[in-house]
Amino acid sequence: MKYIDLHTDALTKEGVRSVTKETLARGGCALECFACFTPRGDLGKTLKLCDKFQKMCLDEGFRQVKRGGNLAGEGMLAMLTVEGGEAVGGDLGNLRFLHEKGVRMLTLVWNFDNDLGTSHTTSERERGLTPFGRAAVELMGELGMIADISHGSDALFFDVAAWSKRTGIPFVASHSNARACREHTRNLSDGEIRTLADCGGVMGLNFYDKFLAADRSCEGQKAAMIAHMTHILKVGGEDVLAFGSDFDGCPQNAYMKTAADMPRLLFEMEKVFPHRVVEKVAYGNAARVIQSVLDEKN
């Protein structure tokens, strides 16, 4: 079964990577989203990673996704994203430039506040998007760039949700789990899951063991992934869940070590959920949002 992964840090991973062209092929990946991650970095560092992504696509034969229509056709697909709004540098012109470079999703914040808004780690969680952040999200909607609230504060989530409801443009939590299953500020509350579903958005199941369960054994992690998925589907419905592995951005999970292990997770899912739902989680839900946002403007 083919799948879409909404987040990997393979572009910045040093040494052996969990995500390679070979592991993606073995896992059945249809589209991988490669993040330019430069914590407290600047636009220049991010652009170097954009160039690295372009070279990877040429050298390894990935087809780059810039429009929703690019999902059709043969071959493995790759989409360029940015994790952390520091790359925008408080200048909307930089956001336009990143779009011109092929960036199609922006994770607004990482583990600290920036010009766009507040992180899940901030002590002032009642603050969400800054005025500049609101302008940036508006521009992202105009450009056809997906707004990603993973790592954001609860207030930032609901600010983006209010924008989404007003504009009809869905947003995502590219790599976030359920707070009811594992209490952590990086995970989404039930209210946030319902709101995300109401906005037509998706959340990608994150494979970071710390965000899944205290039991980090292979069996413990397998059980935790199924538990998070079961809860998310119960709370938000079958259209809200996708995958956001965070491969190469977190310690290797004992159950899901590389992208080549995806079939084992899909096999376990087939034991628990209807085939229709597994197909939606693996591919359909993420594809719907990508097509909806990117095809509007690109």
Q: Which stretches in the chain have pLDDT values below 50?
A: none
pTM greater than 0.75 (yes/no): yes
Give the Cα separation of 285 and 281 in Å (integer).
Answer: 6
Give the Cα separation of 297 and 265 in Å (integer).
Answer: 35
In this structure, are residues 146 and 293 in contact, taking their beta carbons and an 8 Å threshold?
yes
- Phi, psi angle pair for 89, to nearest 5°: 60, 30
pLDDT, one tens digit per residue, over 268-280 is 999 999 999 999 9
pLDDT, one tens digit per residue, over 60-96 is 999 999 999 999 988 999 999 999 999 999 999 999 9
Q: Which amino acid is at 209?
A: D
pLDDT, one tens digit per residue, over 120-134 is 988 665 689 999 999
Report the candidate in 286, 262, 255 with the shortest Cα–Cα distance to residue 19: 262
In this structure, are residues 119 and 110 in contact, taking their beta carbons and an 8 Å threshold?
yes
Q: What is the 3-state secondary structure (H, E, C) of 151-182?
A: CECHHHHHHHHHHHHHHCCCCEECCCCECCCC
- What domains can you pick out in the chain, each with its CATH number? 3-297 (3.20.20.140)
